[in-house]
């Protein structure tokens, strides 16, 4: 580790690192609790400055401790901790380099993964499609942990904040871990909704038009409590 990388890692020492790591671990555990991943599948990351805190490879989330904090720079060099980063690090870093994302959530959610095996995109079955930028594209299959998969994902994420990975799972990003996680949960719910409606014999699900989605997107911008 170079002196420059050591200095970068020290910038997150103390309370700031502890808070960020605790938030990341809490989100990772939530993916398991909510049934979006099984075992050590899936991964979560959080960008703080030019450092990316990320879940490690092959470690159950309920075993992660404060001293296990793990961070890399935007080139993937480890600058905090001694554990090996998730094998999907190329996907996370590609998003941070290409967008203004502050957090990324990757899961193997069952219904969303099933949709990725059936269609090239999840259609606009609900107005929450607008929260992800439009119908959710499916990135073509590539071996996990590869730059090829990261490239396919970036193409599917163009003008979107989430996508499906064919025969693999989901990726969403946001300005915070809460936002990225909420987009993951919405994507899984919409996938389940479409699968349920499409399974009814003799009926075809109605879809929202681009105009309806634009209308919903505008209204969603003012959703929630205003700042005081």
Active-site residue list: 88
Cα distance from N-terminal residue to C-terminal residue, the chain: 45
Please state, in angstroms and rounded to a whole number, the distance separating the CA atoms of residues 155 and 208.
23
Give the tokens for residue 8. Answer: 């970068």
Does residue 72 sit in helix, strand or coil?
Answer: strand
Q: ∠ at Cα 77 (73, 83), nearest 5°? A: 105
Whether 165 contacts 192, CB under 8 Å? no
Whether 44 contacts 91, CB under 8 Å? no
């Amino acid at each position: 580790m170079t002196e420059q990388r050591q200095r970068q890692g020290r910038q997150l020492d103390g309370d700031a690192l502890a808070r960020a790591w605790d938030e990341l671990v809490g989100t990772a555990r939530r993916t398991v609790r909510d049934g979006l991943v099984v075992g050590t599948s899936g991964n979560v990351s959080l960008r703080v400055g030019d450092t990316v805190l990320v879940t490690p490879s092959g470690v159950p989330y309920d075993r992660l401790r404060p001293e296990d904090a793990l961070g890399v720079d935007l080139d993937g060099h480890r600058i905090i901790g001694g554990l090996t980063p998730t094998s999907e690090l190329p996907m996370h870093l590609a998003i941070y380099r290409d967008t203004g994302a502050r957090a990324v959530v990757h899961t193997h959610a069952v219904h969303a993964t099933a949709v990725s095996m059936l269609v090239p995109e999840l259609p606009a079955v609900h107005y929450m499609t607008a929260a992800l930028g439009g119908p959710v594209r499916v990135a073509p299959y590539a071996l996990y942990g590869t730059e090829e998969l990261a490239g396919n994902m970036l193409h599917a994420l163009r003008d979107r904040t989430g996508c499906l990975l064919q025969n693999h799972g989901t990726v969403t990003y946001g300005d915070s871990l809460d936002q990225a996680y909420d987009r993951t949960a919405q994507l899984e719910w919409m996938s389940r909704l479409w699968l349920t409606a499409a399974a009814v014999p003799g009926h075809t699900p109605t879809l929202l038009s681009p105009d309806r989605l634009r209308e919903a997107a505008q209204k969603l911008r003012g959703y929630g409590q205003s700042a005081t």
